Amino acid sequence: MRDSSVPAVVLAAGEGRRLAPLTHRRPKPMVPVANRPLLEHVVSAIAEADVDRIVLVVGHRQERIRTHFGDGDAWNVAIEYVEQPTRLGTAHAVAQAEGAVDGPFLVLNGDRIVDADLIRQVRERLLAEGGPVVSVTPSDRPSDYGVVTLDGDRVASIEEKPHAAASSSLINAGVYGFPPAIFDAIRETPQEAGELGIPTTLARAVETGSISAVRYRGTWLDVSHLWDLLYVTAATIEGDDGTDSTGVHETAVLAADVVLGDNARIGPNATVGGATALGANATVESNAVVANAVVLPDAVIESGAVVRDAVVGENAHVGANATIAGGPASVVVENEVYDDVEFGGVIGDTARVGGGATVEPGTIVGDGVDIAGGASVRGRFETDAVVRRG
């Protein structure tokens, strides 16, 4: 039975700077995972949980979200939109939905994939106890997220990305249940570094032991960095999903865990290895090798090229016999170094890698970059840069 009494507010206004260049032309929730926008996985889970009304909080590049989801009819839900014109934190985003809800409601992050069962559990607890409700899940990297400690089924503390060693392996799973009183709590919340965060808003309720915790061990997939997109895509692809193989040459070799968009084409003797998503109209030409990769729509991997552990942007070209070899790399993101990341790199939208060029592991090639044939590149290249050999 579908539930009209508890709508879901989904936070989808974020820019996703750490995912640049993929977020220059699309908001983070529209980055594709297994050929579906990340946000679509969230909307589908909400619909599967029998929630029939969704309020999307949008901002950066919001037209992409509005055009794709429309009124929600394709997902059998009613979708409406509110705007967060300036990104001032998650609690500020929730506050934008005040005029769209008139009772208890759920809140989800638009960039984290969870099972419908978690959404149901949080809703049931919210209706039973009145809220607030916070979901928690174990993580092997708790300091990267909001760390939560519990006292039985009550939240004892929430600490957002602690600098010291985490005191708990439980993290905030990003699905909440709130009563309408949360809006007054947000108004009373002081800003921290210019933002209003949900954990800060909940601090007073934590002190009184009034926040209920729902423990969760199911699917929890987060795309925080470019290389996460490869892992999350691999975890989301289902083998033998009915992919149309009419554009696949009879001599091409495809792994079972490959998803193909409409009109994707794979040429003679090409090999597409596992954990790979080829977007609509993407082309892999003869004798090319693509594995553990996300290839966006209209991209072309030319004959003999090798693309491993990499993301290739929309309408990008990887030239004949060029190589993105993959493997471990050190990647700098917002002045922080991440070592031993299995990441060949990213080729931005409309970028071109010339024939015979080599892209070293961890390289970030911005939108519209032109890399000359035979060049060997590493590091980060900003939008529309021209890279010559020598």
Residue type for 273, please? G
Q: What percent of the chain has pLDDT over 90?
A: 82
Instruction: Give pLDDT, residue 162.
Output: 63
Residue 2: its pLDDT value, please?
Answer: 58
Identify how many contiguous H helices and E strands the chain contains and give both numbers. 8, 36
253/293 Cα distance (integer angstroms): 15
Residue 104 has a pLDDT of 97
In a domain, 230, yes or no: no
Cβ(303)–Cβ(287) below 8 Å: yes
How far apart CA 356 and CA 351 sit, in angstroms, is 15
Q: Are residues 198 and 316 in the same domain?
A: no
What is the number of other CB atoms lying within 10 angstroms of the CB of residue 367? 23
- 214 shares its domain with 67: yes
Task: Please tell me whether residues 249 and 202 are part of one structural domain.
Answer: no
Q: Which of 163, 190, 224 is the last residue of a domain?
A: 224
Q: Measure the CA–CA gap between 227 and 234, rounded to whole angstroms.
A: 11
Is 257 in the same domain as 211?
no
Q: Looking at the structure, tell me whether residues 69 and 209 fall in a common domain.
A: yes
The answer on 337 and 218 residing in a single domain is no
In whole angstroms, how large is the CA radius of gyration of the chain?
22
Where is pLDDT greater, at 203 or 248? 248
**Alpha-carbon dihedral angle through residues 22, 23, 27, 30, given to the nearest 10 degrees:** 10
The whole-number average pLDDT for the span 340-358 is 97
The verdict on residue 355 lying in a domain is yes
Number of compact structural domains in the chain: 2
Where is the domain boundary, 167, 197, 224? 224
Question: Taking the model in full, what pTM does it have?
Answer: 0.94
Structure tokens at 24: 């220059």
C-alpha count within 13 angstroms, C-beta hemisphere, residue 64: 21
240: pLDDT strictly greater than 60: no
pLDDT at residue 11, rounded to an integer: 98
Q: Which domain holds residue 374?
A: 240-387
Which of 276, 272, 294 has the alpha carbon at shortest distance from 285? 272
Residue corresponding to tokens 């679509």: 40
Residue 180 is part of a domain; what is its CATH number? 3.90.550.10
> Which pLDDT belongs to residue 268?
98
Domain-located, residue 159: yes
Is position 103 within any domain?
Answer: yes
Least Cα distance to 136 among 213, 219, 45 occurs for 213
Whether residue 2 is contained in a domain is answered as no
- State the pLDDT at residue 1: 46
312 and 352: one domain?
Answer: yes
Tell me: do 261 and 207 sit in the same domain: no
Domain assignment present for 231: no
Judge if 71 and 187 occupy the same domain: yes
Question: Is 166's pLDDT higher than 90?
Answer: no
- Average per-residue pLDDT for the chain: 93
The token pair at 224 is: 């925080």
CA of 225: how far to CAs of 19, 222, 349, in Å? 6, 9, 17
Sign of CA dihedral 232, 238, 244, 249: positive
In order, the DSSP letters of 89-110 are -HHHHHHTTGGG-SS-EEEEET
Model confidence band, residue 160 (pLDDT cutoffs 50, 70, 90): confident
Residue 12 lies in a domain: yes
The per-residue pLDDT for 262 is 95
**Span 18-30, average pLDDT:** 96
Q: Is the pLDDT of residue 124 over 60?
A: yes
Q: What is the pLDDT of residues 77-94, one digit of tens each?
A: 999 999 999 989 999 999
Tell me, what DSSP letter sits at residue 29? Answer: G
Q: Are 208 and 272 members of one domain?
A: no
Q: Hey, what long-range contacts does 267-270 have (CB within 8 A, 24 or more apart)?
A: 267/303
> Same domain for 39 and 132?
yes
Single out the residue in 172, 198, 224 at which a domain terminates. 224
Whether 234 is covered by a domain: the verdict is no
Spatial contact of 89 and 43, defined as CB atoms under 8 Å apart? no
Q: CATH number, domain at 264?
A: 2.160.10.10
> Do 257 and 363 share a structural domain?
yes
